[in-house]
Amino acid sequence: MVHLFSPQIVLSALLAFIRDAPSSSSSATSAGYSLHFDITNGWANLSPYKEADGFGVPKGVPRGCELSQVHILHRHAERYPESSWFDGEGMETFNRKLKSYSSEHNVSVGIGPLAFLKNWKYLLGRDILLATGTATEAVSGAEIWSKYGRMVYRAPPGMAVWDPELNVYPNGTRRATPTFRSTNKQRVLESAKWWLTGFFGPGHGNTSYNLVVIPEGNGLNNTLAAEHSCPGDLKEGTHASETFVPRMVKDPLARLSKYFPDDFDLTTSDVLAMMNFCPYEYATLGSSSFCDLFSEQEWLDFAYNLDLRLYGTSAFGSPTGRAQGIGYLLELSARLERKLIDSSDTSINTTYDNHSATFPVHQPLYMDMTHDKVIIGTITALGLQYFNYGPKGMPSNVSHAVPRKFQLNKVAPFGARLISEIWTCPEEASIEVLDKTLYANPDLSDTKSTTDFIRFVLNALDWTCPR
Ligand SMILES: *[C@@H]1O[C@H](CO)[C@@H](O)[C@H](O)[C@H]1NC(C)=O
Ligand SMILES: *[C@@H]1O[C@H](CO)[C@@H](O)[C@H](O)[C@H]1NC(C)=O
Ligand SMILES: *[C@@H]1O[C@H](CO)[C@@H](O)[C@H](O)[C@H]1NC(C)=O
Ligand SMILES: *[C@@H]1O[C@H](CO)[C@@H](O)[C@H](O)[C@H]1NC(C)=O
Ligand SMILES: *[C@@H]1O[C@H](CO)[C@@H](O)[C@H](O)[C@H]1NC(C)=O
Ligand SMILES: *[C@@H]1O[C@H](CO)[C@@H](O)[C@H](O)[C@H]1NC(C)=O
Ligand SMILES: *[C@@H]1O[C@H](CO)[C@@H](O)[C@H](O)[C@H]1NC(C)=O
């Protein structure tokens, strides 16, 4: 049977529904965020990609210079949680606890703001790239084609998308097939494929480019998964986070316990899990009923916990932070010098870097798909003191987040990218003079006394509009 509603009735029903929706905070939920508050900024490295603010550095195109090379170190995008206790395992444990309490006591758990738990289902998996992640990567590939690809490959006016005829040197000689790299971890590899689809368009996979897939794991050298080269040295961040988490969940634990049965015994780990559901369900389903349970301050603290953890795992707070980025930096420098690498005492695997088929050094554009830790390690190896909190590391024995520059939603959100631009400038050019837009990329290969400049751009594709 088909029910036909008159549009008027549907509309008034909808209006009634909207009027009934809670509009401000009650004692039950802590939501009712201020207008400027964007909850997705409070998820650190689980935040969706957003252009960063430029970190205070002016944007623009150095006038008269050639954009001669672009090197992109790219993070995979939205994924299911990983197995660690503070991530996937904690959420699975909460789910099991809820289910077994319900069946043992023949009740449905959760009243007041937690009433949604009656219909809630655990829908998350483990580790793999989500559909939202495929979109993030394809968008990035398309944006990088538009802003960089068409310039370094000198696409003629009117050409919309990649064409294989572009793969030539300025003198017309054909170049080798462009080669990109990824690890073999599903989320990284799938991210690479979607990024390449965005950059080249569909249908070019077998003809226009190669993808070198380097295995990652314990005992394996891989500059794109470098923590495996220093196993066991990632503890600083873990300790800091273990100190901070109980402080961070103190208030929500007290508040939310009231809506569980007395003997449910809501724990610190349960509350952390409930917070984690927000970003992960958002990435999986587009929204989450858990988000509103927590206040603005609690999301700032949630982000701080992840910042703290990764700061101590792969950044200035870690004894191996720089070591995790040095492999990629040596590769970047080898590409700049157009040299293969035949020996190394870092995370480099020379079996790959010793051959131009797997480590080409004459491309105008490179893309390596990796993890957040490698991007963080690389900015640390570069010595970008802007992100250095100070000699004692970020404090963990505090009740709330402290002000800091190292914020993962800006440094390494899902789909993050660290771009090294090489600008070749004639003697008379000044890199201080910036144009808004690059319309034509000059060919300065026959110009004498040029200087090459490198500019690192982190999560800010837009050259002109500071946000
Ligand atoms: C569980 O509760 C429902 C409704 O309250 C009731 O109908 C059912 O008989 C109960 N089952 C057991 C095993 O007690
Ligand atoms: C064209 O330029 C490339 C790169 O500079 C060079 O390797 C090649 O030999 C040149 N080809 C001709 C025909 O000059
Ligand atoms: C690409 O190559 C693979 C393996 O050779 C083949 O299975 C696939 O059909 C090819 N795809 C296209 C689009 O040609
Ligand atoms: C280097 O790569 C080769 C080819 O994948 C692999 O067989 C070898 O185990 C790797 N070595 C290290 C130390 O990762
Ligand atoms: C690198 O390749 C060169 C030439 O193919 C070879 O002579 C050398 O032994 C290789 N070195 C390593 C470490 O694989
Ligand atoms: C792997 O890394 C170790 C330590 O840096 C290095 O000694 C070894 O030669 C590397 N292996 C390969 C195949 O590159
Ligand atoms: C944590 O901070 C409190 C108050 O500032 C202090 O009393 C306590 O000793 C500190 N604990 C540790 C382990 O540093």
Once rounded to an integer, what is the mean pLDDT over residues 225-244? 85
- Please indicate, yes or no, if residue 308 is contained in any of the structural domains: no
Ligand 5 atom 4 nearest Cα: 354
Q: Do 146 and 221 reside in the same domain of the chain? A: yes
Note whether residue 14 is domain-resident. Answer: no
User: E strands along 176-312, which residues?
Assistant: 179-183, 210-214
- pLDDT at residue 20 tops 70: no
Distance in Å, CA 337 to ligand 2 centroid: 17
Whole-angstrom distance, CA of residue 403 vs CA of residue 262: 37
| pLDDT tens digits, 171-195 | 899 999 999 999 999 999 999 999 9
Q: Identify the pLDDT of residue 363.
A: 97
3-state secondary structure 204-220: CCCCCCEEEEECCCCCC
Spatial CA neighbour of 421 closest among 392, 390, 457, 447? 457
Q: Please indicate, yes or no, if residue 154 is contained in any of the structural domains.
A: yes
Looking at the structure, tell me whether residues 272 and 323 fall in a common domain: no
Q: Is the CB of 223 under 6 A from ligand 6?
A: no
Residue 289 pLDDT > 70, yes or no? yes
Given a cut of 70, whether residue 12 has pLDDT beyond it is no
207 and 291 share one domain: no
Mutate to test the pocket of ligand 3, among 206, 209, 210 (most ligand atoms within 8 A of CB): 206
Among 68, 154, 168, 173, the mutation site with the greatest number of ligand 2 atoms within 8 A of its Cβ is 173
- Would you say residue 175 lies in a domain? yes
- 357 found inside a domain: yes
* Higher pLDDT pick, 428 / 411: 411
Whether 200 and 263 share a structural domain = no
DSSP string, 404-448: -S--HHHHS-TT-EEEEEEEEEETT--TT-EES---S----TT-S
What's the average model confidence in pLDDT over 366-376?
A: 98
171 lines ligand 2 (CB under 6 A): yes
pLDDT of residue 53: 78
Over residues 451-460, the mean pLDDT reads 94
The answer as to whether 35 is a domain residue is: no
For position 461, what pLDDT does the model report? Answer: 66
Q: How many domains does the chain have?
A: 2
Residue 274 lies in a domain: yes
Name residue 165's amino acid.
Answer: E
Q: Give the pair of three-digit tokens for residue 284.
A: 């999986």
- The finding on whether 172 has its CB within 6 A of some atom of ligand 2 is no
Return d(Cα 386, Cα 267) in angstroms, integer: 37
Please give the average per-residue pLDDT across 11-16, as a whole number. Answer: 38
Provide the domain limits for residue 330. Answer: 49-80+130-232+319-458
Can you give the pLDDT at residue 31? 67
| 257 and 403 both lie in a single domain | no
Judgement on whether residues 55 and 135 belong to the same structural domain of the protein: yes
pLDDT of 15 strictly over 60: no
Question: Hey, how many other C-beta atoms are within 10 angstroms of the C-beta on 464?
Answer: 11
The atom of ligand 2 lying closest to the CA of 362 is 4
3-state percent helix, strand, coil for the chain, nearest multiple of 5: 40, 10, 45
Global confidence as pTM: 0.91
- What is the reported pLDDT for 335? 98
pLDDT in tens, 117-145: 999 999 999 999 999 999 999 999 999 99
State the average pLDDT for the chain. 91
| Cβ 349 under 6 angstroms from ligand 6 | yes
Task: Give yes or no: residues 330 and 403 share one domain.
Answer: yes
Cα(351) to centroid(ligand 6), Å: 9
* 450 & 381 share domain: yes
Instruction: Point out the least confidently predicted range of 16-25, 284-293, 402-411.
Output: 16-25
Residue of minimum CA distance from atom 11 in ligand 2: 173
DSSP code at position 129: B
Q: What is the mean pLDDT of residues 214-223?
A: 95
Per the model's pLDDT, the better-predicted residue between 335 and 436 turns out to be 335
CA dist., res. 61 & res. 433, Å (int): 8
Residues 122, 140, single domain; the answer is: no
* Residue 95, in any domain of the structure: yes
User: Do 74 and 213 reside in the same domain of the chain?
Assistant: yes
* Token duo for residue 283: 């990435």
Assess whether 172 and 53 both reside in one domain. Answer: yes
Same domain, 326 and 394: yes
> What does the pLDDT read at residue 463?
52
What number is the average pLDDT over the span 378-392?
Answer: 94
CA of 396 to the centre of ligand 7 (A): 10
- Please, what sign has the CA dihedral across residues 172, 176, 182, 186? positive
Q: Give residue 177 CA to ligand 3 midpoint distance, Å.
A: 16
Domain of residue 447, CATH code: 3.40.50.1240
Among residues 329, 332, 335, the alpha carbon closest in space to that of 362 is found at 335
